[in-house]
Every structure is written in structure tokens, then in C-alpha cells.
A and B are shown apart, each in its own frame.
Chain A
Amino acid sequence: MVDKHTVLELKGITKRFSDFVANESINFQLEKGEIHALLGENGAGKSTMMNIVFGLYQPDEGEIYINNDRVTIDNPNVAIEHGIGMVHQHFKLVEPFTVTENIILGMEPKKGMSINYKQASKDIKALSDRYGLDIDPYAKVADISVGMQQRVEIVKTLYRGADILIFDEPTAVLTPQEIDELLNIMKKLVAECKSIILITHKLKEIMKIADRCTIIRRGKVIDTVKISETNTQELAEKMVGEAVSFKTEKTPSQPKDILLSVKNLVVKDANNKNMVDDISFSVRSGEVVGVAGVDGNGQSELIEAITGMRPKESGEILLKDQHIESLDTRSIYNAGISHIPGDRHKHGLVLDFSVKENMILHNYYKDEIVKNGFINEETVEKISLRLIEQYDIRTPGPQALVRSMSGGNQQKVIIAREIDMNPRVLIASQPTRGLDVGAVEFVHKEIIHQRDQGMGILLVSFELDEILNLSDRIIVLFDGQIIGETTPDKTSDRELGLMMAGNYIRGESSENQKNIPI
């Protein structure tokens, strides 16, 4: 039996950034051998709290105890000395280095003047075996899968002697099967007396694996609950502060004419590899076509080819009866395709522009707002105010910099802009990535609403729940090809997961494996 005592305790932690209180009187206890989930929306203060624990920020008030000793953690090295390890959401690995080189980076075992790689590799192998991590110390990081890269990050913390592991949104980049593996690893770690803090906003995973859950909202601890005594609904309501519904209400789709048809599309990358390999499909008016697949199987190339951002090798793309495969991006927009890009910071927004400047990204040159080359500020202001109101964008005003807004509100700016173009087809790539529950609900409702108005929607997402929840038809991309097509009521996340991994075994799914939303 594991000795249950508190390994990490935060007492009255407060952290301010000028007049913004990121953490307010946080109390938190982590017991030995437990998985303690930290749940909260984006911007709730989870990251600030963990950055304090990891020594990246200094609290303005409050105390930290490790094994009941008061400690001051003023930089990450001190945190590591106290046995705290962090598995970051974005891996901090050197790609051309081997697994071993990455793990020992900064604390290389020496043998005389040179690094003792042999010993290091042996140690790493031993650690890997002990926790069932199955990593190859000699592989190059660039060559291994995302799931294994994450396990390398885990070993990195263990190699540094971590007893308290912080996982920051660890499942965001994984396939369903990889998620299962990770959860098993976490179980093994706690069985070996490690303690885990799991930062996430995925309720399903918390219910599956955590022992306790602390919910944070607007910088304050709302509650700490035992998982055995709660349910997803309760957790979600505590997180958001109001009642939420997971399943987007929708009536069966009534697809009409074909709006977008893609025929034999081939897109090559710089190395002449077929990233999109002879794909054909269509999107009808009034339906949502979901594109499932693991990141990197041709989704972004497909979208960029349709929207004219990327040259096409061959194939046809038609919008109604109009050939658009040889048009440039602007003409494709004007023909009636809108695009919610997968990376809103990279493509969708100019972060250092105000809301209203972002609203006119597609229209800034059009006669309706330009006279003699001068942009009519009044008109732009009016358009922005209308969209802010209509889409409930929480911002100080049209002048506010988009950079200063939350992810959900940034996404609303894009969605407002794209839907206001009144397109015939909307291409939505990962429209809810990184958004909290409330914002996800909003986006989903809007997509269904537009569908019901007769828009054709192509939805690309790495979140299977989102695909299953919104789509009327699903196509699965693997290695640039459509490996399967199905509908949400005939499949499960397990089957989709297999298809996404390249194993198309149709008909193996059974009803009792059916997906539970979120």
C-alpha cells in the first residue's frame, strides 16, 4: 500500500501581472501516488500555477511545501532538485539528436573528458523498461512518432529524478490508441510511487484516470473533488460556472445540391511526395463533411490546395459548376469559399492588429469600404461593432488588439469574419483547437446553424469527438488518401482510430464500443 502523505502543497498562492490576478489564494495538495487533475478553461490560471511550481514565476504571496518542508523555487533547476519534472505540451526536444542525447542534455554523465553514452543509454533503457515506456535510446528524435517523443519527455524527467510529474495537456497531440497507452503509463508511474499533476480540459480522460480533480476558474480554486464521487457534467459546470451541454443539438441533415466537388486531386510537397494522393469527394449544401485523420496525413495540404494557398499537381475542383482549381486565393474567396484556418495565429489573424483591422482582412480593398484608396474607418467600425455584437465577441472594443484577447474570442473574430462573407462552402480546420468548453459549444452551434441555412461545410479536425459530433458524413485520410468513408451513427471512435492509423478493418466495431461524447 502506498503511504499517503502530501508531497506538494501550495498555500495561499497569489500571482499578479500588473492589475490582473492570474492566481488568487490558491490552495492545492498533491498526495503521494495520486493522479491529481487540474481542470480549467484557457486563461483560468492553470499554467501560471504550474509555472510557479516549476520555478518559472515567483508568487506574490503564499507558500510552497514539498514533503512538508517550506521551499522557495526561484528557477526550474531548483524545481528539478526538489524532484519536480514537467512534460510540456510542446515537446522541448532537439530533433537531429538521438533519444539518449536529448535525455542527458544538460546533465551528461562524464567518463574522463568525454560523455559516457554507453552508461547513459543503459540507464535510459532500464528506466524505460521499468515503466513500460518502450523507447529506443539510439533512435533519432526526428524519426520517432509523436507518442514516442512524448515518452522521451517522460523519461527525461525521470532521468532527472522526478517524483512529481506535471503533464501539460499531454493528449492534445495523440491518437486515441496513443492516449490509451499514455494513460497506462501514467498508471504505472503512480504505482511506482510517483505523483502526477495532469493539466487538461478533457473531462473524459480525467474521469478515466485521475484520483482527484481540482477545478480552477478565473484564477481561483473552485473545488477539489474525488473522481469517484463526481461525473463529467458536474466537473464541466464547475469549470465553466454554468450549465453546459456536450452534445450539439442538431436535426438530421438535409443535403441538397453538390456545392464543392474535388476530383482526382493530387498535391505534391517540396520533395515531390504525394501529400494528397488522388482524392475525390464532394460536399453538398446543408451537410457537414468531417475529415478525420492523424495530423500530417494530407489534411492541411488538401485545404491549402482547395483554397489556392498551395499549387496543385493535377485534378479538378468545382464550386457548383465553376472550375476553381486554377484561381488564386482571393478569387476563390470571392467565388464563395470561406476558410477557418487550422492555425489561427499563423494564418487567420494578424495578432498585432485591432479587431476591426482583422475583420477586413478579405475586404480591405473592396469598394464598399474604400474610397480613393482610403479605408473608410466609420464603415469598418460599424461592421466590426455589428459582428462583435452578433457573435458575442468579448473585447473592450473594435480598437482592442487581438493579441490581448483570449483564444476563444480570437476564434470568434475569425468565425465572424468568415461567415459574414456569406460563403457557399465553409472550410473549417480545427475550429475549436485550444478552446474551452463554452467556446467550443458556441463554435459547434454556429457550424450547425450555418449548415441548416444551406451552407456546405468541410470540417477537418484531429478531435474525434468533434468529428463524430458534428459531421453528417466522415471521410478518413491516411497517407494522403481517403482510406474510408462512413457516417457517425455507423462507426465509433475506436474504429475511426484504427482507420486513422492505416488499418481499415470495416465492420469490426460493435455497438457496445460506441463513443461517449467528450
Chain B
Amino acid sequence: MKIRKIFQYDSLLVPIIAIALGLIIGALFMLLGGYNPTVAYVSMIEKVIGSSYDVGELLRTIAPLILSGLAVAIAFKVGLFNIGVDGQIIMGSLGALIVGTQLSLPSIIHGIVAVLFGALLGGLWGAIAGYLKGSKGINEVITTIMLNYIALYSSHMMIRAFMPQEGTQRSELIKESASIKINFLSDMMGGARIHWGFLIVILVLVFYHYYLNKTKWGYEIRVTGLNIQATKYAGINSSKIMVRTMFISGLFGGLIGTFNVLGVFNYMAISASTSGIGFDGIAVALLGGNTAIGILLAGILFGILTYGAQGMSFGAGVPNEIGDVVISAIIFFVSAPGIIKHLLYRFRNKQKRTENTDETTKSKKGA
């Protein structure tokens, strides 16, 4: 029982050690490749805080990572592994694109409607997997992966059929009235693509924390995720809760898609594969321990590593992939916390043995 307590205390220590190990391994790889890690990491930092443009673009990188992390985390909390954030992002983009190109509305309202519709589509996309799992017991990992493909290719079809930009591999542009860019901030930050989505991300973070920990709905989610047998015993309808939670998860994913279309690119590309942000979200949720504050910090870290990797390649000639190596190594150590815990345990035991052991004999009932 006491061992568990150590582990809980370690919930802070483990990510920090994982990050340190990740950076060290990245440095080793750089040394192997003949690059100077110090120069590389310094230029990474310089890149992310170098100019107001960089800060703005860093924020643009971070926002989807946080949302994706929250989407994965809330599904985790109900006991589901949502691999489908990528597909939900696509559905969000598609929804925003449809409203942004097909409707004509006054400027602010147009943006709001487009965001809401996109988020709704993403939510419904997530809810499908929730329904299949909750009512039919079909593994959500499989359904969400498949739904990713369905979303990807049906979005291609929709764009080509209804909203094509002739001669390109992308959709037509959204109407100016649907844009959610913050133009004055963008101008101040050297043209960095700043949009209202950042505000929404902050609101979603706050929502996530309170909804999950303070409301009866969050209570249901946590019971379902921690002990689904207890829901049966207490008469809690776990399948309904799974649908609802996956809807919320998809909503978060959908928001990412709407930001990309309405705030960053103004169009939707016909790309060969999904964005991969959904997978980054798994890492963010994992590193952040599924807590709002943790996900915020993890999103910022991964944003810095992703965006800063460009600086490493510019300043020290280090290939972009090194940034990915660092991220991967961190994920590796976080997702295999046993390794770090084992090291910690060894370390502590050794310390304890060398100390004199007399004063630890005060017994405390705990088992």
C-alpha cells in the first residue's frame, strides 16, 4: 500500500525525469551525427522566443496539441482509448468548411456558426465509436481507426464534389466573414496566425477540469473509467456515459479542425493522410497525466519541441527529425514509467541502506 503512495508522489517526478532523459537521448543522437547539442538546444530556445512572430506561431502549434490531449484524456477517463481524434479533426474541418463556404452570414456570427457546426460533426463522429463500444461492445480502438479513414476519404469526396478549388489539391477558400483570425494581433506579431481559438482552448481547459472533477456527469465518467463493474452494481448507465464522453472528446477534436480551417489556412487540403495531431494528443495526455494543468504544460512542451526543431535545423544544422527523437524518447519513458520507477526505487533503496536505519522503525498502520 505504501508503494502506491510513492507512485503518486512520482506522478510529478516521472515526467520531469522522462523529459530530462528525452533531451539527453536527443543530445546523444546529435553527438552521433556530429552535431553540437548545446548549440542545437540553444538555437531551439532562440527559435521559440526569438521574435513575436515565432511566439505567435508557437501558440498556433500549441493550441491543437492541448485540445487533442484533452480529447484523448477525457476518453481515457471513461476507460476508452480514442485513436480517432484525427478523424474527428477532419470532420471538424469539414463542418467548418461547409459553413464557411456555403453559407452567407454576418461576420462574427458566421465564424461562431462554423465553429459550432464543425465541433458538432466532430462530436458526432466520436459518439459513433462511443455508441458502438457502449452498446455493442465493439473495441473502440478498431472503430476509431476505421472512422479516421472514412473521415479522410469522405472529406476528399466532399471537397472535390462541392467545394473544389480548380487545379489544386485543396478546397476553395472560406468566406472572409467566417474567419476567426485576430487580425490586429496577427499584424502586431509579424503576421503569425493568431485566432480566437486560443481563447476557446483556455475555456475548454477550465471546462475539462470542472466538468470532470466537480459535476455529477464527471463523477459518472470517472466511475465508469475506474470500475465499470461498479456502474453495473450502482445502476449507472455506462453505455450512455460512453456515448456522451466520446461526443465531448470528438467535440474537442472537431474544434481543432475548425481552427485549422477558419483561423489558420482558410481552406482544407486534400492530403494523403491524416494530420497526426490526434496521435500527438495521446502523448500529451500521457505526459500530462490526464489532468488539465498537466495537459497544458505537456502541450506547451511538445509545441516548443515541434516548433523549436525548425530552429535546431537552422541554427545547428540538426535535422528536424531530432526533435521527433526527443519527443519519442520522452513518450517512451513516460509510457513505460516502470523503467523510471524502477530506477527511482533502486536509488532510494540504496540511499536508505547507507543511511542509518534506526529512526525509521516507528510503525504506522497502513495495510
Bound-complex Cα distance A18 to B4 (A): 10
Q: Which of A332, A351, A373, A406 contacts B227 (CB 8 A)?
A: A351
Chain B residues contacting A364 (CB-CB under 8 Å) are: 216, 219-220
**Residues of chain A lying within 8 A (CB to CB) of residue B220:** 364-365
Which of A201-209, A341-349, A459-467 is found at the contact surface with chain B?
A: A341-349
CB <8 Å contact, A346 and B229: yes
Contact, CB under 8 Å: A404 / B217: no
Contact of B234 among A21, A219, A329, A370 (CB under 8 A): A329
**With A218-B365, A350-B227, A353-B222 in contact, do A18 and B233 touch (Cβ < 8 Å)?**
no
Is B232 a contact partner of A18 (Cβ separation < 8 A)? Answer: no
Question: Mask for B1-43, Cβ within 8 A of A = 1, else 0?
Answer: 1111110000000000000000000000000000000000000
Q: Which residue of B lies closest to A18 (CB)?
A: B2
User: Is there contact, CB below 8 Å, between A403 and B235?
Assistant: no
Inter-chain contact A19/B362, CB cutoff 8 Å: yes
- Residues of chain B with a CB closer than 8 A to A144's CB: none
8 Å CB interface, A414-442 against B = none
* A373 touching B217, Cβ below 8 Å: yes
Question: Does B215 contact A18, Cβ atoms closer than 8 Å?
Answer: no
| A18→B3 contact, CB < 8 A | yes
Residues of B within 8 A of A362 (CB): 234-235
Does the CB pair B364–A20 fall under 8 Å?
A: yes
Whether B363 lies near A329 (C-beta < 8 A) is: no
Contact B361 A21 (CB under 8 A): yes
Is A277's beta carbon under 8 Å from chain B? no
By the criterion CB–CB under 8 Å, are A330 and B4 in contact?
no
In the complex, A309 has a CB within 8 A of chain B:
yes
Bound complex: CA of A329 vs CA of B231, how far in Å?
10
CB distance from A395 to the nearest CB of B (A): 11
Looking at chain B's contact residues, is the secondary structure mostly helix, strand, loop, or mixed?
helix
Residues of A within 8 A of B215 (CB): 373-375
Q: Nearest chain-B residue to A365 (Cβ)?
A: B216
Q: Is the CB of B233 within 8 A of A339?
A: yes
Q: How far is the CB of B351 from chain A (nearest CB, A)?
A: 12
Task: List which A298-332 residues lie within 8 A (CB) of chain B.
Answer: 307-309, 328-332
Interface size on A, residues (CB 8 A): 47
Q: Is A43 an interface residue (CB 8 A)?
A: yes
Give the contacting residue for A20; candidates B1, B222, B223, B229; CB below 8 A.
B1
What is the minimal beta-carbon distance from A26 to any residue of chain B, in angstroms?
A: 13
Cα(A61)–Cα(B356), bound, Å: 13
Q: How large is the interface on B (under 10, 10 to 19, 20 to 34, 35 or more residues)?
A: 20 to 34
- Which A-chain residue is minimally distant from B236 (CB atoms)? A330
B residues in contact with A374, CB < 8 Å = 210, 214-216
Checking B230, B235, B360 against A19 with a beta-carbon cut-off of 8 angstroms, the contacting residue is B360
Asked if B214 and A375 sit within 8 Å, CB to CB, the answer is yes
Q: How far is the CA of A362 from the CA of B219 in the complex (A)?
A: 11
Shortest Cβ distance from A362 into B: residue: B234
Give CA–CA (A370, B216) in the complex, Å: 7
The answer to whether B226 touches A404, judged by C-beta atoms less than 8 angstroms apart, is no
Output the least CB separation between B348 and chain A (Å). 8
Q: Please, which residue of chain A has its CB at the minimum distance from the CB of B1?
A: A404
- Would you call B366 an interface residue if the criterion is a C-beta within 8 Å of the partner chain's C-beta atoms? yes
- Would you call B3 and A17 a contact (CB within 8 A)? yes
B161 at the interface (CB under 8 A from A): no
Partner of A328, one of B233, B235, B367: B235
Cα–Cα, bound, A271→B186 (Å): 66
B357: interface (CB < 8 Å): yes
A361 within 8 A of B: yes
Q: When the two chains form their complex, are residues B230 and A348 in contact, meaning their CB atoms are under 8 A apart? A: yes
Q: Which positions 346-384 of chain A face chain B at CB distance < 8 Å?
A: 346-353, 357, 360-362, 364-365, 370, 373-375, 377
Shortest CB distance A127–B (Å): 37
Give min CB distance, A353 to chain B, whole Å. 7
**Are the CB atoms of B216 and A347 closer together than 8 Å?**
no
Could you pull out 7 A-B pairs where Cβ atoms are within 8 angstroms? A43-B365, A349-B227, A350-B223, A351-B227, A364-B216, A364-B219, A377-B214
Residue positions of A touching B, CB distance < 8 A: 16-22, 24, 43, 60-61, 218-219, 307-309, 328-333, 339, 341, 346-353, 357, 360-362, 364-365, 370, 373-375, 377, 394, 403-404, 406
A331-B235, A361-B230 known; 18 new pairs, CB 8 Å cut-off, are: A17-B2, A20-B2, A20-B364, A43-B367, A60-B357, A219-B363, A309-B233, A339-B233, A346-B230, A350-B226, A352-B226, A364-B219, A365-B216, A373-B216, A374-B210, A375-B216, A404-B1, A404-B5
